[in-house]
Structure 1
Amino acid sequence: MSSAARWLACLAVLLACAPAQAARLYRWKDAQGITQYGDQPPQASADAEVDVIRFRNPPGTLARLRIEPLATRYQVWADNPGPGPVQVEVSFRQQHNLLASPALPLRKVLPAHGSVLLSSLILTDPLGGAQFDLKMDAMPGDPAAKPFDFRYRLPFDEAALRVDQGPGGRFSHNDLQNRDAIDFAVPEGTPILAARAGVVLQVESDFDKAGLDREVYGGRANFIRILHEDGTMALYAHLKPEGVLVRTGQSVREGQQIGLSGNTGFSTAPHLHFVVQVNAGMALRSVPVRMVGPMGELLFPSAPAGP
């Protein structure tokens, strides 16, 4: 098999995919009895019988790997289609008759909507054939980000405030990316508000199940990830099915409604999982937050120290 064919065969398996986004298609009959389709419901007649067809768009990607063949080498590019920076790491799964310059594995940060030349794969024997498998992992955010000292607003307007699990909670707040997370007990369907202004970086809204099997439900909740001006990213998770009310690339203001709370993913009851994270170098790490509620600044216990 040629190297190009081999590359295409493994492409779908090797690229890191971001969550898919939900969509609706509306179908109805007009006054002449002709079936019409659209991405918005008809406004002309309230009597029209409208069918709503829900479907899942093909998954997007945090970053795409692209190979450009030249006479005696291949150029390895990474493209970032998203509205925020993404860090990638590219490595060989296997290689034959190729030398990478710069050497692999390597890491690069891709700017929003940007492309970066990662490496050139040079034929060591120009008369011989080349075979290679490449792997690319992607992580949102720039590891050079420096968090500001910022006071976040409460991400909902409920008068009653209850925290089911705080920073360092033993149930699920004991890893690097969730150590500083806060689980607010809110009824399903509670309007979720942006705790800070930013740009929507990722969304998932199609997941409709919940359970305690971490392997099945861990990381599968509906969520919104918002990028802030200092490079930190807020995650609003466990939203209800189709409970995402914003789109990737949209700018949101502090206090704007962005979603509806729910009970999806690794969850036992309706709640909002809120955490602010940074890219710590191909890994997400949570950071402590200061938050203001109706009675002033909220006090959360410090998360236990750890790696």
Structure 2
Amino acid sequence: MSTPRNISIAMGLLALAGSVAVADAAKIYRWTDRNGVTHYGDSAPGGQHSDAVRAGSVKEIRVQVEPSAIARLRVESDEGRYLAYADNTLAGPIEVMLSFASTNNIVGDPPLPARATVKPRSSALVAVLTAADPGRGGDFELRMDSLPGDPNARPGDVEYVLPLSQPDFRIDQGYGGQFSHTDTQNRYAVDFAADEGTPVLAAREGVVMQVESDFDKAGLNRERYGGRANFVRILHDDGTMALYAHLRTEGVLVRVGQRVRGGQQIGLSGNTGFTTGPHLHFAVQVNRGMRLESIPFRMRGPAGPLRIASGAP
């Protein structure tokens, strides 16, 4: 069997109002030492190096970041066959689907497309690829789509607490809002009006599964800003996931893998991504088998059970 000429990876991203995923760091540092030499790094100089830095020379430089996938496809050669693994980068389960983008004399076991559920921060063998006719060479291209959540999640009947630390609040867009709550991932989302910097609270106990805090711009161009909202995704014990989005730049106050209690502050509201202005986008989501869906939820506000109307008020 010949070595594949090309293995291409196309990764699926989770969506908010467009696509959202973990991104690389959004800033670097530049400084000049006492000898006049310029240095660059992903953190500011300090500790034993601080004395060698020319006073006032440290500059923070914002850089453009791109979303990256929640999982990585890894292919290893093994005695004439190829092992296709999915590496989960999140602190919660994900589901992946591996398929051929093209194939020449290559088959999968199990046959592609094949699905697998991958545990938090671990790897899973999705398929073994071999030649259909061992007497001929072959080549292939692979595609792997991925979604957060376990498809076997069973949502419980839970009352959520208000995710904002403010006595007065307003819902700007409710269930099925025509601006950005028309797709399955956001149909049962709620947009709470919130000034930038308003404390955002966990509406329910869970584990921080995924965060993004480096984006710093907002706008109404869905293609440009849809995948660039800061957010926190929290995994609950029943497999559901709460999404808190459009947070302020560096407005995430929890770390991936941290367990938080209901009512605990997890971030600061902001205005990032595809949005008309500052607000908090909140949704409870489940994976329905390679299909991320928002689901209705019950929530209690300061005056009692919250009535969530459809659309915008």
**TM surpasses 0.5:** yes
* Number of the residue aligned with 1:6: 6
Q: CA RMSD in A?
A: 3.0
Any conservation in 1 of the 2:176–2:310 contact (CA below 8 Å)? yes
Any conservation in 2 of the 1:22–1:54 contact (CA below 8 Å)? no
Q: Does residue 249 in structure 1 map to residue 257 in structure 2?
A: yes
* Number of the residue aligned with 2:16: none
| 5+ residue gaps, structure 2 | 14-20
Q: In the TM superposition, what are the counterparts of 1:71-150 in structure 2 within 5 Å? A: 71-150=79-158
* Number of the residue aligned with 1:15: 11
Which range moved further: 142-151 or 247-256?
247-256
Q: Does residue 273 in structure 1 map to residue 285 in structure 2?
A: no
Select the residue among 175, 187, 190 that pairs with 1:179.
187
SS at match of 1:172: coil
Cα distance in 1 between the residues matched to 2:310 and 2:174: 9
Residue identity opposite 2:11 in structure 1: L
Q: CA deviation at 1:104?
A: 0.3
- Closer, same or farther: CA 133–25 of 1 in aligned 2, 3 Å: closer
Any conservation in 2 of the 1:26–1:50 contact (CA below 8 Å)? no
- Closer, same or farther: CA 195–134 of 1 in aligned 2, 3 Å: same
Any conservation in 2 of the 1:191–1:260 contact (CA below 8 Å)? yes
The number of equivalent residue pairs is: 296
Any conservation in 2 of the 1:184–1:272 contact (CA below 8 Å)? yes
Q: Normalising by the residue count of structure 2, what TM-score does the alignment of the two structures yield?
A: 0.83
Q: CA deviation at 1:74?
A: 1.4
Any conservation in 1 of the 2:193–2:280 contact (CA below 8 Å)? yes
Residue identity opposite 2:6 in structure 1: R
Residue identity opposite 2:294 in structure 1: S
Percent of aligned pairs with the same amino acid? 55
Any conservation in 1 of the 2:100–2:141 contact (CA below 8 Å)? yes
Q: CA deviation at 1:135?
A: 0.3
Q: In the TM superposition, what are the counterparts of 1:206-221 in structure 2 within 5 Å? A: 206-221=214-229
Which range moved further: 86-95 or 111-120?
111-120
- Closer, same or farther: CA 93–218 of 1 in aligned 2, 3 Å: same
The C-alpha deviation readout for 1:82-140, integer Å capped at 9, x for no partner, is 21110001000111121212100111111112222211112133342220000000000
- Closer, same or farther: CA 206–229 of 1 in aligned 2, 3 Å: same
Q: Which structure carries more relative contact order (alpha carbon 8 Å, separation 6+)?
A: 2
Which range moved further: 289-298 or 123-132?
123-132
Any conservation in 2 of the 1:155–1:195 contact (CA below 8 Å)? yes
Any conservation in 1 of the 2:91–2:210 contact (CA below 8 Å)? no
SS at match of 1:201: strand
Select the residue among 156, 160, 166 that pairs with 2:168.
160
Any conservation in 2 of the 1:202–1:224 contact (CA below 8 Å)? yes
SS at match of 1:119: strand
- Closer, same or farther: CA 15–174 of 1 in aligned 2, 3 Å: closer
| 5+ residue gaps, structure 1 | none
Q: Normalising by the residue count of structure 1, what TM-score does the alignment of the two structures yield?
A: 0.84
- Closer, same or farther: CA 21–69 of 1 in aligned 2, 3 Å: closer
Q: CA deviation at 1:298?
A: 0.8
SS at match of 2:6: helix
The C-alpha deviation readout for 1:33-85, integer Å capped at 9, x for no partner, is xx99895886999xx85846366789654222121212232122222232111
* Number of the residue aligned with 2:18: none
Cα distance in 2 between the residues matched to 1:255 and 1:136: 37
Q: CA deviation at 1:141?
A: 0.2
* Number of the residue aligned with 2:231: 223
Which range moved further: 187-196 or 206-215?
206-215
Any conservation in 2 of the 1:163–1:185 contact (CA below 8 Å)? yes
Any conservation in 2 of the 1:21–1:205 contact (CA below 8 Å)? no
Q: CA deviation at 1:198?
A: 1.2
Which range moved further: 122-131 or 256-265?
122-131
